[in-house]
Amino acid sequence: MANAAWRLARRSCPSYLQVLHMNRTAMRASQKDFENAMNQVKLLKKDPGNEVKLKLYALYKQATEGPCNMPKPGVFDLINKAKWDAWNTLGSLPKETARQNYVDLASSLSSSLESSSQVEPGTDRKSTGYETLMVTSEDGITKITLNRPAKKNAINVEMYHEIMRALKAASKDDSSITVLTGNGDYYSSGNDLTNFTDIPPGGVEEKAKNSAILLREFVGCFIDFPKPLIAMVNGPAVGISVTILGLFDAVYASDRATFHTPFSHLGQSPEGCSSYTFLKIMGPAKATEMLVFGKKLTAGEACAQGLVTEVFPDSTFQKEVWTRLKAFAKLPPNAMRISKEVIRNREKEKLHAVNAEECSVLQERWLSDECMNAVVNFLSRKSKL
């Protein structure tokens, strides 16, 4: 119902921006102003963010139905509870005032978001053009560094897109090998769990569908990457940052690194083709311990099981691995690319099918109580891995 209201608030019709600006001077917003404001919201080019969307939702409900007298949703029904809270906060605000406030808010959003969208995209970005990564290319090596150290390099939606962009660029640049690593003490803590809180107008089902599409495309880029792809696992790795290692050509790890895929704890299921690659790499028994029971492996254990190529003491990790990679990068690049093709190509079709299936299972999992409760627990700081 709440989503229906949000959709209603964004229902399409012609633009009435000018009329709306004239009406802003009136004492009270008319029904027509209100409808225009709803259209204005619909036409916003930028997402105003969850807080503002909640405010719009609450004002819409107050303006159309009056004070909130719905039963309060359960504590784990995170999204509907946030909506209920926003509406309930308006208390006995009169319908007319709510309508006027909605109109004012829509108008202010329209001017602030429209003007910020006129700024050239990327003008204040780093020279690399990435917000969440550092990408460098030298000595025949393109290095992609996950760069959200304060968040343990959790992969947010922007980072998923940037990694795909960086991989596509690396596949075409003149480097011969590509390296993925992390900045700070973590390699990556996996999927950014706050990704689950940005709910689109179509609700949680639409969110799950979009996430499955994103995940499939993301993993697809690793399956199809044409040059030798090397992971330098500088610290703990969690979730998807571990599962995709099965699609890399070599994995070098610091002895500080750990490998953890706690999908059952999170009410989720394996991705990154790990339901296929891990079984091939370490056999079903060990793969089950990791993927079903969430056993965390040390770097030594991961190496013994074939997931990691070699482990280095943390104190010499960078020096030793870079010396080796620089030597690899001097090998004839076409020979390396073709050898990778020979080794990997016969598996590609299978890997894409596995990827599609894993994403479709996850799409359902993300809607489960088990998964939603795990995310709520993390966000409310009740649980960590």
Where on the chain is the footprint of ligand LGGBLMCM (CB under 6 A)? Answer: 151-152, 154, 189-195, 211, 214-215, 238-240, 266, 268, 271, 378, 384-385
Place of tokens 């202010």: 108
Nearer to ligand LGGBLMCM, 84 or 186 (CB): 186
State the minimum distance, in angstroms, from the CB of residue 125 to ligand LGGBLMCM.
22
Do the Cβ atoms of 228 and 340 come closer than 8 Å? Answer: yes
Nearest to 204 by CA among 372, 376, 54: 372
Write down the least CB distance from residue 127 to ligand LGGBLMCM, Å: 26
DSSP state of 250: E
Question: Which residue has the CB atom at the shortest distance from ligand LGGBLMCM?
Answer: 239
Name the minimum Å distance from CB 237 to ligand LGGBLMCM.
10
**Shortest Å, Cβ 246 to ligand LGGBLMCM:** 14
CB of 195 to ligand LGGBLMCM, least distance (A): 6
List, in sequence order, the alpha helices (H) in the chain.
2-9, 17-23, 31-42, 50-65, 78-88, 95-116, 157-172, 203-224, 240-243, 274-291, 299-304, 314-328, 333-365, 369-379
Closer residue to ligand LGGBLMCM (CB): 64 or 210 = 210
- Find how far residue 241's CA is from the centre of its chain: 12
CB of 282 to ligand LGGBLMCM, least distance (A): 19
Complex with ligand LGGBLMCM: residue 23 or 145, whichever CB lies closer: 145
Task: Compare residues 142 and 145 and give the one whose CB is closer to ligand LGGBLMCM.
Answer: 145
Which residue type, as a one-letter code, is found at position 83?
A: K
- Cross-strand bridge partners of residue 191: 155
CB distance 344 to 225 below 8 Å? no
Q: Which is nearer to ligand LGGBLMCM, 259 or 317 (CB)?
A: 259
Q: Is 259 helix (H, G, I), strand (E, B) or coil?
A: strand
Q: By C-beta, is 104 or 205 nearer to ligand LGGBLMCM?
A: 205
Q: Please, which residue, 142 or 189, has the CB nearer to ligand LGGBLMCM?
A: 189
258-260 and 297-298 beta bridge pairing: antiparallel
Q: Report, in Å, the least distance between residue 354 CB and ligand LGGBLMCM.
A: 15
DSSP letters for 276-328? HHHHHHHHHHHHHHHHTT-PPEEHHHHHHTTS-SEEE-HHHHHHHHHHHHHHH
